[in-house]
A and B are shown apart, each in its own frame.
Chain A
């Protein structure tokens, strides 16, 4: 789990950091990393082209597209825990720049943690996974957060809750679905499949959309 500085700068609105700003970024990364209490959980399902194990229908064409040809799929959830909330509040009491940077560092951390965990799970379960796809991406309804978290029992297993408005709480949390593209672990297959994560996604206005080189930079 680490922070991609380029990604962090993109979250906070760009700019070339000078030495002082770089020091502040380092501080924020250290604070967020120390405050994070990352936890994750997953569940493996068979996939019949529409439902996961006969118990869950994502009701999304984009998910169906992602899982096309898969015979199995994983539901996955991860959170950095509530400690990061206090860290951001604390940073804000000192100044808004620190809060912005800490918050952005935490966003980078949860992404990186999800990458690490999905990699670990793929290895342990000896499978190759598609890219992760989350509620709210494309036509995959945000309101499915509740059902995904229920199926994973996230509240009991990792302390992840869903608010009345489908918001994940604590904030720096992710749930996702991923398909099994091969029944053995193969980083090469995976790289081919996930080369351009966000480019595949239909959620063009998603605030967290990454902009790979091949993708036009969005207007801020």
Chain B
């Protein structure tokens, strides 16, 4: 029999089976081995459970493959999956068979050590091994990386329908913080149905189901536990009570229903009776414009600010950082913009001389680890966009598609496949339009082409283009007219980079702010701007007050109650400056006080950058370093000074990158398998202050990546960290590889369990006992060159 599951789902309320694990335990007690091994060792037990559910009336039998992936079952994985699917098929030949895919049992980055690629490979193998099933059920997921890997693996290795089900805690989030909103927005484009299972009983899952049904255009599945287990692991919700909840689930919009832990064929019998012959519940989906990260959804139902700072164009320091492989600078920009009130962050790595695909993808990863804001992936290279979209753990915005044929045919399929929103730029082969009508014509072409790919208007953000009034003065008004008109005609959102309007004029911020306000009144939803400039956020806040979006002026009052509305750039990272207090820069740094303003003041006063570095910063660092070595200062004081010096260096570098020539390159990494990187991070800050260019590869870094970075950057010194005795072997492995591949590179190591002896034993050149040891070794290595 080959029934079409998609068709059946469109016409019926679908009944899934109930628990497998708890049924198995009932049968055999603690299985004492991977339950999927029963597929080959006790097929009779497995078949009997499947038959019981089929007899109870389940439409779909989930094969006993939940934990049969390669991460859990090793090399027997494929065999156990094939056997599991075959058993389900044989036990219930007239029902659908689901390939059941549970979690890998490993935690994904950044909190864990599993990469997206590793997760993808594990699921892809399982999907191929289970190709005889009728439908793929990805369930009990709590991590967005793992869920997306499973869904993409299913989509790309099979044409079977895919169901995505996560497991939520009482706070309506998964253990890794994924909310129902983020799950619905991210998974809906990648699955045929989405929903929730396990962890909680039916009472607790009802609100989650209600939410998912409103947020997702897909049918919703629910498979609750039979209540919450007591301390002995018993489940208390009986079949009758369960069925009463099933009625509520169907009323709330659920279209597929089954049971998880603790449910039995009796539970399924009663819900099957309810569901049989029942037409599917009508969709309760309410389309809304929204994007999200794994943990935060942003609905575009008012003005939402897109932060523009993570972009090397016209920004010397960002450019230098990206060229040097320094992602910490971008991370800092991300944190600053988040704190300044941005809602979405634009991420751009378009720079001649770098591999945009690689750098943009890494940038997306690093920025995601410090902010929960959704990201806008800003690139003109479709390959880079796709790579970044794969890495992104949520629903992103692609910036952008234009009206050009080449762009439409390359970008729209990506937006459709990954479920991203997309910026539609109103330019085409003819160039930048001069009239409102031309802008509208191109916008409508984009909207129509997107619709053909199934992309709804709510996911299209039209950019009517800001031109420079210094060159084409009459264009500012055209832009505003186009915004007004496209919003009147379509349910799209509008986006606009504001600051280009003033290019070439003095006091640009005056023009920018006025244009921003005008654009908001014309109907601009998504201004792209620098949120660190107070007048930008003030314009938005005022607009929200004047248009009654900020009810009772509450947010405005909260934000500006104590403000004298200064027009200086706000920068986070340090508490507000207590002013120089008569301290010179050297004293400020030594005391670990904010040093950026004083540095700027000195530069403005004509001080030579090199004099500041050699005459103040280096002596201050030497003072505090000496005090630390002598036991008169402690690590916190040392780091306070290091942070302060870093701020100062950063101001100098922004003004004149050449003033901060590096003394040498040092590659740092926390080794594979280890996620404890605080020591490595501290070492990085200190080394930077002593003039070294630090390429920080992050944590859980495979040996090959360390060697590749050392080669690429020509580093003569590499620092490795590992916390535990169990990860030190990876350190040894990395050193061995470095010796072979990069014989000129010296290696220093640090970490809680390391000692001088231990470091020697694993082949390191230097053992770093504290935060300053690295500096001495670096000096030794680079002096000898």
A residues at B contact (CB < 8 Å): 12-15, 17, 20-21, 23-24, 37, 39, 44, 55, 81-83, 85-86, 88-90, 92-101, 103, 136, 142-143, 155-156, 158-159, 161, 163-167, 169-171, 205, 207, 220
Q: Cβ of B334 < 8 Å from any Cβ of A?
A: yes
Q: How far is the CB of A119 from chain B (nearest CB, A)?
A: 17
| Contact present for B111 and A85 (CB under 8 Å) | yes
Contacts of B626-647 to chain A: CB distance below 8 A: 633-637, 639-640, 642-643, 646
Q: Which residues of A contact B643 (CB under 8 A)?
A: 95-98
Rounded to whole angstroms, the CA-CA distance of A90 and B338 in the bound complex is 10
Interface residue from B110, B176, B640 paired with A89 (Cβ < 8 Å): B110
Is residue B752 within 8 Å, beta carbon to beta carbon, of the partner chain? yes
Contacts of B106 in A (CB 8 A): 161, 163-164
Contacts A85-B110, A92-B681, A161-B106 given; indicate if A97 touches B726 (C-beta within 8 A): no
Given contacts A82-B111, A93-B334, A165-B674, contact A205 B753 (CB under 8 A): yes
Are A166 and B726 touching (Cβ within 8 A)? yes
Contact status A169-B592, CB under 8 Å: no
On chain A, the residues within 8 Å of B719 by CB distance are: none
* B678 contacts A169, C-beta separation under 8 Å: no
- Whether the Cβ atoms of B634 and A90 lie closer than 8 Å is no
- A167, B724: Cβ atoms closer than 8 Å: yes
* Nearest chain A CB to B102 CB, angstrom units: 10
Contacts of A24 in B (CB 8 A): 636, 640
Are A100 and B682 within 8 A (Cβ)?
A: yes
Task: Report the 9 A-B pairs with minimum CB-CB distance, sorted nearest first.
Answer: A159-B175, A15-B634, A95-B643, A13-B635, A82-B111, A161-B107, A165-B726, A97-B639, A207-B752
Interface residue B50 (Cβ < 8 Å from any Cβ of A): no
A40 to chain B, nearest CB (A): 13
B134 part of interface (Cβ distance < 8 Å): no
Chain B residues in 8 Å Cβ range of A161: 105-107, 112
The number of inter-chain residue pairs (CB within 8 angstroms) is: 160
Task: Knowing A163-B675, A205-B753 are in contact, say whether A101-B107 is a contact too (CB < 8 A).
Answer: no
In the complex, what residues of A have CB within 8 A of residue B675's CB? 85, 163, 167, 169, 171
Are B636 and A93 in touch, CB under 8 angstroms? Answer: no
Contacts A12-B636, A15-B635, A142-B725; A163 near B112 (Cβ below 8 A): yes
Would you list 26 pairs from A and B whose C-beta atoms are within 8 A, ordered by A residue?
A13-B636, A82-B107, A82-B110, A83-B177, A88-B678, A92-B681, A93-B331, A93-B332, A93-B334, A94-B573, A95-B639, A96-B639, A100-B635, A142-B726, A156-B167, A156-B199, A159-B175, A159-B176, A161-B106, A161-B112, A165-B730, A166-B724, A167-B673, A167-B724, A170-B107, A171-B675
Docked Cα-Cα span, A73 to B770, in Å, equals 40
State the interface size on chain B (CB cutoff 8 A): 64
Who on chain A is nearest to B71 by CB? A164
Are A90 and B370 in contact (CB-based, < 8 A)?
yes
Q: Nearest Cβ distance between residue B633 and chain A, in whole angstroms?
A: 7
Q: Please determine whether A15 and B370 come into contact, CB atoms closer than 8 angstroms.
A: no
Distance, CA A55 to CA B29, complexed state (A): 13
Contact (A20, B752) CB under 8 Å given A96-B639, A155-B103? no
Q: Which residues from B are CB-within-8-Å of A155?
A: 103, 105
User: Measured between alpha carbons, how far is A8 from B198 in the docked complex, in Å?
Assistant: 38
Q: How far is the CA of A15 from the CA of B638 in the complex (A)?
A: 11
Determine how close the nearest CB of chain A comes to the CB of B224; give it in whole angstroms: 15
**Known contacts A97-B592, A100-B635, A159-B176; A164/B673 CB under 8 A:** yes
Shortest A8–chain B CB gap in Å is 10
Q: How far is the CA of A82 from the CA of B681 in the complex (A)?
A: 19
Report A-chain residues with C-beta under 8 Å of the C-beta of B685.
95-96
Given contacts A93-B370, A94-B332, A169-B113, contact A100 B105 (CB under 8 A): no
Q: Known contacts A86-B369, A97-B643, A156-B140; can you find 8 more A-B pairs with CB under 8 A?
A: A15-B634, A21-B640, A82-B107, A82-B176, A92-B331, A97-B639, A163-B673, A167-B726
B595 → chain A closest CB, angstroms = 11
- Cα A85 to Cα B295 with chains together (Å): 14
* Contact of B681 with A167 in the complex, beta carbons under 8 Å: no
- Min CB distance, A174 to chain B, in Å? 14
Residues of B near A169 (CB, < 8 A) are 107, 111-113, 675
B335 on the interface (CB 8 Å rule)? yes
B634 & A14 in contact (Cβ 8 Å cutoff)? yes
A94–B331 alpha-carbon span in the complex (Å) = 9
Q: Is B328 an interface residue (CB 8 A)?
A: yes
The answer to whether B724 and A142 have CB atoms under 8 Å apart is yes
Interface residue from A13, A17, A99, A171 paired with B681 (Cβ < 8 Å): A99
B399 / chain A contacts, CB cutoff of 8 Å: none
* B90 CB-CB contact with A under 8 Å: no
Task: Known contacts A15-B633, A15-B636; decide if A159 and B142 are in contact (CB<8 Å).
Answer: yes
Q: Which residues of B contact A37 (CB under 8 A)?
A: 177
Among A55, A98, A163, chain B packs the most CB atoms within 10 A around the CB of A163
The reply to whether the CB of B572 lies closer than 8 angstroms to some CB of chain A is yes
Rounded to whole angstroms, the CA-CA distance of A93 and B696 in the bound complex is 13
The residues of A that contact B111 with a CB separation of less than 8 Å are 82, 85, 169-171
B334 near A23 with CB under 8 A, answer no
Say whether A95 contacts B574, CB under 8 Å: yes
Write the nearest CB–CB distance from A24 to chain B, whole angstroms: 7
Give Cα distance in the complex from A90 to B673, angstroms. 22
Contact A96 B676 (CB under 8 A): no
Q: Quick one: which of B482-505 are within 8 Å of A by CB?
A: none
Residues of A within 8 A of B105 (CB): 155, 161
Complex CA distance for A90 and B103, rounded to whole angstroms: 28
Please, what's the 1-or-0 string for B256-285, where 1 marks a CB less than 8 Å from any CB in chain A?
A: 000000000000000000000000000000
Q: Check if B370 sits within 8 Å of A86, measured CB to CB.
A: yes
Give the docked Cα–Cα distance between A142 and B725 (Å): 9
* Contact of B593 with A by CB under 8 A: yes
**Interface status of B393 (Cβ within 8 A of chain A):** no
Q: Is B606 an interface residue (CB 8 A)?
A: no
User: Which residues of B, 278-335, contact A by the 8 Å Cβ criterion?
Assistant: 328, 331-332, 334-335
Chain A residues whose CB sits within 8 angstroms of the CB of B640 once the complex forms: 20-21, 24, 97
Complex CA distance for A115 and B392, rounded to whole angstroms: 38
